[in-house]
Chain A
Amino acid sequence: MSTAGRDWGEDAPERFYVITRGHTQPAGRAALDLVTLIVSRAEPTPSMPPEHAAILRLCGSPLSVAEISAYLRLPVSAVTVLLADLVAEERVEARASVPPALLPDRALLEAVMHGLQRL
């Protein structure tokens, strides 16, 4: 394996932060991936479907679509449909997975390497 690129800079996480800012999808247009992070922006109400309420309760802290599927024991495609409604109603925020067009971006890879080295 080549040793090129071993000397990535110490500023990687900050540069990564710049990359991800501004990539949060506008409501209703979110392309939901397995690793899109979902965060509640509303409280559950008695009148909403139980699945919607369950998602709002789960996502007080950010959770990926895959994790929501696992905790609710629902298939990913079913969860995606529920989330699309909640995103459209602006009851949840979808933090998009890093857009594929940016991949593999060196600043992103540097950030991942930094993080893994602490593991």
Chain B
Amino acid sequence: MDFSASDTVRGPADEDLLPDSAAAAVKVVVVGGFGVGKTTLVGAVSEIRPLTTEETMTQAGADVDDLAGIERKSETTVAMDFGRISISDELVLYLFGTPGQERFWFLWNGLFEGALGAVVLVDTRRLEVSFDVIGRLEDRGVPFVVAANAFPGAPAHPDEELRLALDLPPEVPIVACDARVRESGRDVLLALMHYLYDLAGSRAAR
């Protein structure tokens, strides 16, 4: 941490200020392998220029200090981009795009806790990079939808082929998207909300 009094902190632009009525915020996490378009998706739907936040992670090292028998810790700084959508005068939605190295996503305490759900962004040319994150979300019970980002030259897979390849349960929605287009990104988020809505209903009915 190197904050000094002489630093001029540039805050939000006037048009980016939230109204004082903003009472609560919710978050959605966008996950996906390296270069699948996470930052692009966050930027396309965000009302503010995406910002970057960072966290320092401490990981116990694999090796043991031979003198003291103390585990070595390694510190890594992980940066994450995020954007914002004002839902109403009172409610704000934040969208976090996780960093490329997937092992850090789940070390970041508080990233998934309290999140409404997640969007798993996949590049259909490289599905294998998404296997690990899908498994981890399932383990943690984080509800998610899969969004297939349409890169040029990417084969158009029928949804059921994708479902099979990713070993997804039948209820998990799969949507096609172009991460560069705001309406497309919005539709991915709406698909997640519809899915959560249905989940909430089936939970209440039980």
Contact stretch, chosen from B66-74, B121-129, B198-206: B198-206
Cβ-based interface call for B62 (8 A):
no
A118 to nearest B CB, angstroms? Answer: 9
A58 contacts across to B, CB distance below 8 A? 9, 11-12
The answer to whether A23 touches B86, judged by C-beta atoms less than 8 angstroms apart, is no
Interface size of B by CB at 8 A reads: 63
The answer to whether B87 touches A112, judged by C-beta atoms less than 8 angstroms apart, is yes
A89 and B114 CA atoms in complex are apart in Å by: 26
Query: Can you list 7 A-B pairs with a CB-CB distance of less than 8 A?
Result: A1-B194, A57-B9, A63-B12, A69-B53, A77-B55, A98-B114, A119-B182
Cβ-based interface call for A88 (8 A):
no
The answer to whether A62 touches B18, judged by C-beta atoms less than 8 angstroms apart, is yes
B182 contacts across to A, CB distance below 8 A? 119
Digitize A95-119: 1 where CB-to-B-CB distance is under 8 Å, 0 elsewhere: 1111110011110111111111101
Cβ-based interface call for B24 (8 A):
yes
Digitize A48-79: 1 where CB-to-B-CB distance is under 8 Å, 0 elsewhere: 00110010011001111011011111111110
B166 contacts across to A, CB distance below 8 A? none
B20 to nearest A CB, angstroms? Answer: 6
Question: Given contacts A34-B110, A51-B3, is CB(A5)–CB(B201) below 8 Å?
Answer: yes
Question: B interface vs A, CB < 8 Å?
Answer: 1, 3-5, 7, 9-12, 17-20, 22-27, 45, 51-56, 77, 82, 84-88, 90-94, 96, 110-111, 113-114, 116-117, 143, 173, 182-183, 186, 189-191, 193-201, 204
The answer to whether B114 touches A67, judged by C-beta atoms less than 8 angstroms apart, is no
Question: A interface vs B, CB < 8 Å?
Answer: 1-2, 4-6, 8, 13, 16-17, 20-21, 23-24, 33-37, 39, 50-51, 54, 57-58, 61-64, 66-67, 69-78, 95-100, 103-106, 108-117, 119
The answer to whether B26 touches A76, judged by C-beta atoms less than 8 angstroms apart, is no
